[in-house]
Amino acid sequence: MVKVKHEHTGRKFINVGIWMKAKSFLFGVQGNQGFLLKLFVYLLLIGIGFVYLYPLIYMGSYSLKSLENLLNPLISWIPTALYLDNYVTAFQVLNFWTTLLQTLYVTVIPAVAQTVIAAIIGYGFARYQFPLKKILFVLVLITFIIPPQVLMIPRYVFFNELDLIGSIFAFLLPAAAGQGLNSTIFILIFYQFFRMMPQALEEAAYLDGAGNFRVFLTIAIPMAVPAIIISFLFSFVWYWNETTLASLYFGNSLTTLPVELQKFSETFSEMSSTETAAQNINEGISLAGTMLSILPLLVVYLFTQKWFVEGVDRSGITGE
C-alpha cells in the first residue's frame, strides 16, 4: 500500500515537472521569452516586412519583363530573361543624370539649411530665457498644425513678387527662416536633445572664457550629432519626395526625379486610355522609371543606416 502511494506521488511530481517545463517553453519565464511570444513577434515582423518589401519586389520583377512576358499569363514573378531595355528607355525619358543633379541641388542645400537653422532655434529655446519665449514656442508649434496647402498660394504670390519662382530660393528661403518642410519637428528634436544635455559642461566652458557662440559650436553641436543626422536625413527625404511644391515653385526651370516620374506616368496613362495593350506595353517601362527614381534614396540609406538607427535611438524621435 505504501509502495503504491509512493508511485502515485512520483507520477504526480513528474506530471507537474512536465507541465512546468511545457509552460516555461510556451509562455517563458522571468527574463526569458516563451515560444508563443517569439512566434507572434516573428510572424508580426514577417508580415510588416512583407508589406514593405512587396512593392519593391513587384517593381523589380515587372520592370525586368519584356512585352511577351507581360502578356503571358503563365509568367507571374520570374521573367524568362532579364529585359534591360525597360531601364534604357526609362533612363532616357527621365534624362536621368541631369535630373539627378538638379534633384540633389534642390534637396541637399535646403536640407542642410533646415538642419542648421533648426539646431540654432532648438538651442535657443532650450538654453536661453527671453521675453515672449512661451508665446513664440507656441507659434512654432502652430506652424506645424497649419496644413501646407493653405500656405501654397500666399507663398507663391510672395515668391513671385520677389522673383524667386524657378529658383532654389523658393525652397531655401523658408528653410533658412525655420519654415521649411516639417521644420517644427526638427526644432522640437533639437529642443528636447539640448534640454537633456548636462549644463555643467556649458558652465565649465563659460568659466574657461568661452562665449555663447563658441559653447554652441564646441559643446552643443558635437553632442547633438544623432539629432543632426536624423534631421538631415528626414529633411533630405522629404524634400526629395516633394512634388507638389516643386512643380509649383520651380516650373520648367528646375525639376526633380519624382516630378519627372509624375510626368512620365501621366504620359503613359494617356496612351493607355486609347490603346488596350498600352498599359501592358508600358508597365515595365514605368516601373523601371520608378525604380530609378527611388534608387538614389536606397543607396543613401544603405550607406547611412548605421548612423540613422543610432540617431533614432539616441535622439528619442520615437517618443520613448
pLDDT tens, position by position, 62-96? 888 877 777 777 777 777 777 888 888 888 888 88
* Residue pLDDT, tens place only, 231-282: 898 899 899 988 888 888 888 888 888 888 888 766 666 655 544 444 444 6
Residue-level pLDDT at 280: 42
Grid cell 529655446 is found at: 125
Residue span(s) of the chain under CATH 1.10.3720.10 come to 87-315
**Range in 10-19, 215-224, 299-308 with the lowest mean pLDDT:** 10-19
Residue-level pLDDT at 281: 45
Residue-level pLDDT at 223: 84
Pairing mode of beta strands 32-33, 28-29? antiparallel
Residue-level pLDDT at 277: 42
Cα(248)–Cα(170) distance, rounded to whole angstroms? 10
17 pLDDT exceeds 70? Answer: no
Cα(154)–Cα(5) distance, rounded to whole angstroms? 91
* Residue pLDDT, tens place only, 21-64: 665 655 556 656 666 777 788 888 888 888 888 888 888 888 88
**CB environment 286-303: b (16+ within 10 A), e (fewer):** bbbbbbbbbebeeeeeee
Residue-level pLDDT at 308: 65
- Cβ burial of 221 (10 Å; 0-12, 13-18, 19+) is middle
pTM higher than 0.85, yes or no?
no
Residue-level pLDDT at 205: 77
CATH 1.10.3720.10 at 87-315, yes or no: yes
Residue-level pLDDT at 239: 92
Residue-level pLDDT at 318: 46
* Residue pLDDT, tens place only, 90-136: 888 888 899 899 999 999 999 999 999 999 998 888 888 888 888 88
* Residue pLDDT, tens place only, 156-195: 888 888 888 888 898 998 888 888 888 888 998 898 888 8
- Residue 56, C-alpha cell as written in the block: 519593391
Cα(86)–Cα(69) distance, rounded to whole angstroms? 13
Residue-level pLDDT at 112: 93
Spatial CB neighbours of 12, under 8 Å, sequence gap ≥ 6 = none
Cα(156)–Cα(163) distance, rounded to whole angstroms? 10
Residue-level pLDDT at 18: 63
How far is residue 273 CA from its own chain's centroid?
34
Mean of the per-residue pLDDT values for the chain?
78
Cα(285)–Cα(262) distance, rounded to whole angstroms? 13
- Residue 296, C-alpha cell as written in the block: 538614389
Alpha-carbon distances of 90 from 24, 215, 271, 289, 314, rounded to whole Å: 56, 50, 16, 5, 40
